[in-house]
Amino acid sequence: MIISHVMTKNPVFINPDMSINDTRSLMIQEKIGHLPVLNKNNELVGLITKEDLAKARPSKATSLDMYEISYLLSKLQARDIMITDVVTVEENEVVEEAARIMADKSIGCLPVMRGKLLVGIITDTDLFRIFVKAFGARRRGIRITFSLIEQSGQLAKFAGAVAGMGGNIASFVTSEGDDLSHSRVTCKVEGLSMAQVEEAAKQVLGAKVEDIREVR
């Protein structure tokens, strides 16, 4: 899956001169937690998150009164608190690479670029939606996770067995197993009983079933 297929296109953005108060109001209005900052040439120069806005609030231990605090906050602009070392990703990059970058760097979003042009944004919420679809979380069926020896044609055997019983594989996800010789497979099967799905995994593949349950 390519980022351009799942990103939020033409994201809401602000300029460096926008006040912090207006920035906060815009986030609330648009129900978003990340705002790219573009200069007058439409170049990406920064990023502001809800966390950045929270940090811009004065400490509870401050001796300033509410009027002084309001005045100081009204003078702050986006340029004063924005992140300038922004990590970005190209629109033709694959989704899993975006997820890896976000996980490795502990960040919640990536502005999506086409060269120097901002064309979208992908957030952790977008990745959660992809995760839900990949695992078929909204579909009913038998969800099974099994450990499988890394051998050519193993997955085809399981798919053939399921089809032969009249079932349909609604979702299919593989990941690394406990060692290099095994893979972990999680899939959701429709149209079969739990016993039939377990038989396909055990009898056809000799796989070790780690979890199996009916999802309604």
Name, in order, each residue with C-beta under 8 angstroms of 168's C-beta and a sequence gap of 6 or more: 162, 189, 190, 191
Q: Which pTM was predicted?
A: 0.79
pLDDT of 11 > 70? The answer is: yes
Q: Are 120 and 4 in contact (CB under 8 A)?
A: yes
Q: What is the mean pLDDT of residues 152-167?
A: 91
Residue 143's contacts (CB-CB under 8 Å, 6 or more residues apart) are 186, 187, 188, 211, 212, 213, 214, 215
The chain-wide mean pLDDT, for the chain, equals 90
95-150: pLDDT as tens digits: 999 999 999 999 999 999 999 999 999 999 999 999 998 889 999 999 999 998 88
4 pLDDT above the threshold of 70: yes
Give the pLDDT confidence of 162-186 residue by residue, as tens digits: 999 999 999 999 888 888 888 899 9
Distance CA 206, CA 177 (A): 15
Tokens 């490795």 map to which residue?
A: 104
pLDDT band at 66; cut points 50, 70, 90: low
Q: Copy the structure tokens of residue 75.
A: 């003078």
As a residue count, the chain comes to: 216
Per-residue tokens: 77: 């602009």
* Cα–Cα dist 11/13, whole Å: 6
Burial of 191 (0-12, 13-18, 19+ CB in 10 A): middle
148 contacts: CB under 8 Å, gap ≥ 6: 154, 155, 177, 182, 183, 184, 185, 205, 207
CA distance 75 to 70: 9
Which domains are seen in the chain, by residue range?
3-131 (3.10.580.10), 135-215 (3.30.70.260)
Q: Tell me, what DSSP letter sits at residue 190?
A: E
Among all chains, which residue has been given the structure tokens 């679809």? 133
Q: Which amino acid is at 32?
A: I
Q: What residues contact 147, with CB distance under 8 A and at least 6 apart?
A: 177, 178, 182, 183, 184, 185, 207, 208, 210
Name the least confident of 58-67, 152-161, 165-174, 206-215.
Answer: 58-67
